[in-house]
Chains A and B, each alone.
Chain A
Amino acid sequence: MGYTDHCDLYAAVQEDGINLVAQHVMRQRPSWFNYATQYVSDHPQIACVPVAHTIDVTHYSNPLFKVVSPVPILGADSPPVGLNFCVQLVKAQVDFHPGNVVTLPAALSPPLAAQHLAMHVKICGGMDCPSEFVKDFLPTPTSYGEATNIRQPQQVVPPTRKLVCFCLDAYLVAHIGVQSIAGKPSLVGIVDSVDVVGIEPKGLSENINCYLKTTFELMLKEKLIFPISTMLFDLPLLSLATITAQLTPNPPIPNNPAIDDDQLKVFITITVAP
Chain B
Amino acid sequence: MSHITIAASAKAFQQLFNEVEKNFSFTKSDSANFGPFSASYSVSVHLSGGNLQLNNDNTFEMQDVDIVFGTLDFKLCLDLPGFCIPSFCIVPDPWNGCLVGFPGFCIGGPICVDLNLSGLTSQITDLKASLVPKYYVDPARLAGWTDLDAELNGHSNQWQIYIDPVWVNVALIDVPATIDNILVNAITNAIHNLFPSWLPGWAVDLIMAFLGPIVDLITSLLGITTSIAEWLSNLLSNVFGLVGLLETAIADYFASKYPLYQFEDPFPVLPASGGLIPVKIPIRNLAATIDSQEMIVQANVGA
Contacts and interface: CB of A to CB of B under 8 A. Distances in A.
Given A21-B281, A235-B261, A55 B294 contact: no
Contacts of A40: none
A21 B269 contact: yes
User: Which 10 residue pairs spanning A and B have beta carbons closest together?
Assistant: A17-B3, A3-B7, A2-B293, A4-B9, A20-B301, A10-B7, A233-B263, A8-B12, A17-B301, A8-B9
Interface stretch (B187-195, B223-231, B235-243, B272-280): B272-280
B16 A17 contact: no
B15 A9 contact: no
A31 interface: yes
A263 B5 CA distance: 10
Interface string B64-105: 000000000000000000000000000000000000000000
B9 A12 contact: no
Interface in B1-48: 1-9, 11-12, 15-16, 19
Contacts of A13: 3-4
A2 B7 CA distance: 9
B161 to A, nearest CB: 10
A2 B294 CA distance: 7
B168 to A, nearest CB: 23
Contact of B294 (A4, A56, A226): A4
Interface string A49-60: 000001111011
19 contacts: A3-B294, A4-B7, A4-B8, A10-B8, A11-B4, A13-B4, A16-B3, A24-B282, A25-B269, A28-B279, A29-B270, A29-B276, A56-B277, A57-B277, A62-B276, A231-B4, A233-B263, A236-B16, A262-B1
Nearest to A20: B301
Interface of A: 2-5, 7-14, 16-17, 20-21, 23-25, 28-29, 31, 54-57, 59-60, 62, 226, 230-237, 240, 243, 262-263, 270, 272
Contacts of A236: 16, 19, 261
B79 to A, nearest CB: 52
Contact of A237 (B7, B15, B291, B302): B15
B148 interface: yes
A11 B5 contact: yes
A262 B3 CA distance: 10
Given A3-B294, A230-B269, A56 B15 contact: no
A60 B282 CA distance: 19
Contacts of A10: 5-8
Contacts of A29: 270, 276, 279
